Amino acid sequence: MSIALPKLNPHKSLTNRGRWQFYLTLGLITNATIWISALLYLKFVPPTYTSHSAIAVPGEGSSVNVNLPNIGEASYQNSTPYSGGSTQDPRENYKFIAESLPILKEAAQHLSMSSKQFGKPQIKLVVNSAIMEVNFKGASPQEARNKSLAFYQVFETKLDRIRSQGVTRRNVAFQIALDTSKKKLEIAQKRLSNYKIHSGLNSSERLRELLGTIEQLRRQKAEVLAQQQQANDRLKQISADLNSSAQLVADALTLKTDRVFQQNLKDYSETKAALDVLSSKFLPNAPIVVEQEAKREAAEKALLNQSQFLLGRQISLASLRQLDLSSNSDSAREQLFQQLMIVRADRTGLQGQAQRLDKQIIQFEDRLKKLTEQENTLDALKRDVEVAKAVFSSNLAKLDLGKSNIFGSYPLMEIVTEPTLADTPSWPRQEFVLVGTILCSLFVSTGLGLHWLRQGKTSTGK
């Protein structure tokens, strides 16, 4: 058994060898170029150094409460974007200010640099914290650190200016409110003072004194009414003992104690008795009878006129006959008459006293009603003054507290990490350049090799 060997083509072998030598040379040249470029980059590119620092921005607002004795409570609160569950990160405000051109330009002037040479800071907001990382690059470690220090100095000054402007605006608003509340307080105090002068009511003492006076008068009236009732009961008892009404007994006693009436009664009785004697002897038309009749009528008229004068009302002769007007009554009955007059006079006096007390009570009650209305007005004016005082004191406290609290809208910035002085350059980093050069060389070599193999397969297939 014989094996057939392929015949070698000397021309194809020479072609493959030339292609392999071409790709090897190309790979060597390409890798040499890559490595020479990397070494030249490391040698001639100026190094860059980074100064690292970090600041903390507190996230709480400020709130102050002040208790004012006998007036009320004054509260002052600065609500900031850092509180209240806002979805906006307030550190963005600080970042915007830090990256603004005026800040960077002023910081560059501190180092006698241009804005382009100074550059911009690299600011990073740490998630779920109040930390801001601030990095500055420089040609040397000290330059990078100086940029950070100049930046913080200018940044703090800018924040102080913003805070001062905010405090000034707030104080202006508080001052306007304070002036307004002060004018209202002065007006309320003036109204209260004028009302006290015109009404004469300075306090509630007069009202309490008047209430006490009315209560005392009512007690006196109750006592007088009780005494009057006792007098009425006594009058009824004496009238029952005399077997006559109190009015008739009083009329009889009044007439009996008057001398003129007694004389008129005597004259009337004598003329009437003489007329009765003459009437029994002579005819009615007899001159002596007519003359005596005229005397009797004159005595009767005088008697009725005097009784009307004493009793204050007209009374008939028949009514006078019903009264016990005889002057020879027994002493016991006479004493009852005198007691009846005394009790009747006491009752009349008590009635008059009760009426006077009623008038006084009505007058004092009218005065009480007027004073009550005045006191209500006075209390309303006092409340206005107290409210005005509370508002004025509150605005004054807010003004004082506002002046002392300048970190409400822009809290105090705290540097938690001082600007560092770099030991090694941040760029170019030799390890990064070497790794990149190796990877680049590997990719180029691999690519050339794969391309050589592909061409070899293509030539074999043909």
pLDDT tens string for the chain (462 positions)? Answer: 444 434 444 444 545 566 667 777 777 788 778 777 767 666 666 677 888 888 887 655 555 555 555 555 555 555 555 554 455 667 788 888 888 888 888 888 888 888 888 888 888 888 877 888 889 888 788 888 888 898 889 888 888 888 788 777 777 777 787 788 888 888 887 887 777 777 666 666 776 777 788 888 888 888 888 888 887 777 777 666 665 565 666 677 677 777 888 888 888 888 888 888 888 888 888 888 888 888 888 888 888 888 888 888 888 777 777 665 655 444 566 676 667 667 777 777 878 888 888 888 888 788 778 777 777 777 787 788 888 788 777 767 766 665 656 555 667 778 888 888 877 775 566 666 677 778 887 877 787 777 777 776 665 555
248 with 165, same domain: the answer is no
192 with 217, same domain: the answer is no
Domain presence at residue 374? no
Domain presence at residue 105? yes
172 with 86, same domain: the answer is yes
Domain presence at residue 377? no
Domain end among 346, 362, 378: 362
Domain presence at residue 255? yes
- What is d(CA 449, CA 31) in angstroms, rounded to the nearest whole number? 13
Tell me the residue range of the domain where 277 lies.
Answer: 207-362
The token pair that represents 34 in the structure block = 């890559």
Q: How many structural domains comprise the chain?
A: 2
191 with 214, same domain: the answer is no
The token pair that represents 113 in the structure block = 């640099």
Domain presence at residue 183? yes
What is the pLDDT, as a whole number, of residue 409? Answer: 63
The helix/strand count (H/E) of the chain reads as 12, 6
Task: Identify the burial level of 121 via C-beta atoms within 10 angstroms of its C-beta, where 0-12 means exposed, 13-18 middle and 19 or more buried.
Answer: buried
183 with 99, same domain: the answer is yes
Domain presence at residue 342? yes
300 with 153, same domain: the answer is no
> Among positive and negative, which fits the CA dihedral 159, 160, 165, 167?
positive
224 with 354, same domain: the answer is yes
166 with 298, same domain: the answer is no
Beta bridge partners, 417, equal 54
190 with 241, same domain: the answer is no
Domain end among 362, 378, 403: 362
Domain presence at residue 70? yes
DSSP code at position 8: P
- What is d(CA 383, CA 386) in angstroms, rounded to the nearest whole number? 5
214 with 338, same domain: the answer is yes
Residues 34 and 437 sit within 8 Å (Cβ to Cβ): yes
- What is d(CA 274, CA 293) in angstroms, rounded to the nearest whole number? 9
What is the pLDDT, as a whole number, of residue 405? Answer: 60
351 with 405, same domain: the answer is no
Q: Which helix (H) or strand (E) holds 136?
A: strand 131-138
148 with 190, same domain: the answer is yes
Beta bridge partners, 122, equal 135
Domain presence at residue 96? yes
pTM greater than the 0.75 cutoff: no
What is the pLDDT, as a whole number, of residue 80? Answer: 53
